[in-house]
Amino acid sequence: MRQIREILQLTAAGWSLRHIGRTLGLDHVTVGDVLKRARAAGLGWPLSADWSDAALEAHLYPGNQGRPRVRPEPDWPQVHRELQRKGVTLEVLWAEYRVEHPDGYSYTTFCERYRRFRDTLEVVYRQTYRPGEYAFVDYAGVTLPIYDPATGAVAFRAALFVMTLGYSNFTYAEWQADQSLASWVQGHVRALAYFQGVPRIWVPDNLKAGVTRADRYDPDVNPTYAECADHYGAVILPTRVRAPRDKAKVEKHVQWVETGLYAPVRDAHFTHLAEANTDLRPRLQALNGAPFQKLPGSRQGEWATHERAALLPLPAQAYEYAEWHRLKVPKDYHVELGRTWYSVPYGLVNQTVDARQTAAVVEIFHRGDRVASHRRGQPGQRVTDVLHMPPHHRTYAQGWTPEQLRTEAEAIGPHTTALVEAILHRLRVPEQAYRQCVGILQLRHRYSRTVLEAAAQRALQAETFRVRHVRAYCDHLVANAPTARSVPSHANVRGPTYYQTSAPAAGADHGETPSHPEKEDSPSC
């Protein structure tokens, strides 16, 4: 026992058994047993310099005297597995061990022996970080209820966002309404403003808001999150899946902020998220300013002295949150974003485009080139740029003019032009006249120009200007048009003159039936 020398010294100083036990972490019965053995051996304080700790213990506890000191050994692999579960600590596992083995190890020995076992599992590379290099990001495992002021029921549970600088351990934290992409990215923006600079490498966990596909070597980062990092000149290096040591710094600080920021308000009754964050800020500042336990200084002191100057400068404008969507252009050349439709050039129909949406603007890109830009519309609205429309849609959308109608009619013929002029002068309501003219002009897509010209001539003669009458004239002309049948040229085709004679047969003038040439030439049977 290493405390034998201290027990003898404190006893000589007049300390009681209980006082010595509390000081050395021993039971007072154990202290009394040591003194009893020392008196039996004739030892007291001060001891001779010849007595080493090992010799002293061997002299007071010679061999097998007293009860055996063998203790039941815990199942250390099982203890290690249980510690990976949330809320399980060594103290909990030791209490369960002592229930099963009342004569087992003390809590101190239990923890020490577990640490020895853990150190044999694997070799761990302990990283060191340079100022301004790394920042670690994560959500804490706790949530804070925010209550509805009207009903008193829980409106939602706020999540605790944490970002920690690698070198100084300077930490930013805030309560967020959820763990969505918008909350995640905007939390980064506010954290960088709090740090007054930008760390070069961001190390997040593989949450869906930040990483769309986890991979140890080539992960896919959400486009909005990647754009945010690019705006600040940083890069994103997600951790490996189920590898908490990759971000042990923030894991430790998550526990630190849970204890310092969540525990004091776990039973508080906040009705607004801003109220919870207002309560959090002074305590966060106090935690950053608290002195280190084993090192001189504090997190805030290390940040102010070494890390702030090493951070990248903040850009002139903070990142404006934008969402990216990959969309396929439908036949009406309008892509949908949040029940609002935005036009793209009609030549991109059936192509895939990338849409970037901010609070005010929607931009659409095709293969990296911006092809459209619109002000953000309201749900249910169609936002259209006339230049994105095909020519005939553009003409329809912009409306017809008399000059345009005359030009279209002149391309068909003079009778169609005269019919359009007559309609324009006959009808006093321009919109009605324009619609009838367009209806007649559209017939050129169904009938030939010759047919439409002839139908227009008949309509002028009949002084009718209805579109359905002109269409009926077109149908009549098409139905009664003569059709010429072409006969192929071939040696076996006799032609229409084969059955005709060169001169009338005898008796034809008297009504006699001429004999058939084939019958005259055919041999008799």
Q: What is the pLDDT along the chain (525 residues), one digit of tens a residue?
A: 567 888 888 888 888 888 888 777 788 888 888 888 888 888 888 877 778 777 777 777 776 444 445 678 898 888 887 886 666 889 999 999 999 988 889 999 999 988 888 777 654 444 567 889 999 998 888 899 999 999 989 999 999 999 999 888 899 999 999 999 999 999 999 999 999 999 999 988 777 666 765 555 556 788 889 899 999 999 988 875 555 555 555 566 677 788 888 888 888 899 999 999 999 999 999 999 988 876 678 899 989 988 999 999 999 999 988 888 999 999 989 999 988 999 999 999 999 999 999 888 999 999 889 999 999 888 888 888 888 888 766 666 556 778 888 888 999 999 999 999 998 888 666 767 888 898 899 899 899 999 999 999 999 999 888 899 999 999 999 988 776 555 556 666 665 666 665 544 444 444 444 444 444 444 433
For CA atoms 255, 257, 258, 264, the dihedral sign is positive
Contact yes or no for 110/96 (Cβ under 8 A): no
How far is the C-alpha of 418 from the C-alpha of 409, rounded, in Å? 8
Q: Work out whether strand 171-176 and strand 154-165 pair parallel, antiparallel, or are unpaired.
A: antiparallel
How far is the C-alpha of 523 from the C-alpha of 515, rounded, in Å? 14
10 Å CB burial of residue 492 (0-12, 13-18, 19+) is exposed
pTM of the model: 0.51
How far is the C-alpha of 251 from the C-alpha of 320, rounded, in Å? 29
Q: Is 254 helix (H, G, I), strand (E, B) or coil?
A: helix
- Residue 513 is predicted with a pLDDT of 43
Contact yes or no for 66/36 (Cβ under 8 A): no
How far is the C-alpha of 404 from the C-alpha of 395, rounded, in Å? 9
Contact yes or no for 207/176 (Cβ under 8 A): no
- Residue 520 is predicted with a pLDDT of 41
For CA atoms 384, 388, 393, 394, the dihedral sign is positive
Query: Which residue in 204, 148, 172 sits closest to 307, CA to CA?
Result: 172
Contact yes or no for 384/343 (Cβ under 8 A): yes
Look-up: residue for tokens 């553009």? 394
Contact yes or no for 210/204 (Cβ under 8 A): yes
Contact yes or no for 408/449 (Cβ under 8 A): no
- For residue 202, the tally of other CB atoms under 10 A from its CB is 25
Contact yes or no for 421/413 (Cβ under 8 A): no
Q: What is the longest distance spanned by two Cα atoms in the chain?
A: 176
Residue length, the chain?
525
b/e burial code for range 384-419 (CB count within 10 A of at least 16 → b): beeebbeeeeeeeeeebeeebbeebbeebbebbbeb
Q: Is 139 helix (H, G, I), strand (E, B) or coil?
A: strand
Look-up: residue for tokens 């101190």? 108
181 is written with which tokens? 């992409």
Contact yes or no for 231/315 (Cβ under 8 A): yes
* Cβ within 8 Å of residue 231, ≥6 positions away: 315, 319
Please tell me whether the peptide bond between 46 and the residue prior to it is cis, using omega within 30 degrees of 0.
yes
How far is the C-alpha of 468 from the C-alpha of 466, rounded, in Å? 5
The enclosing H or E element of 201 equals strand 201-203
- Residue 63 is predicted with a pLDDT of 60
How far is the C-alpha of 370 from the C-alpha of 120, rounded, in Å? 57
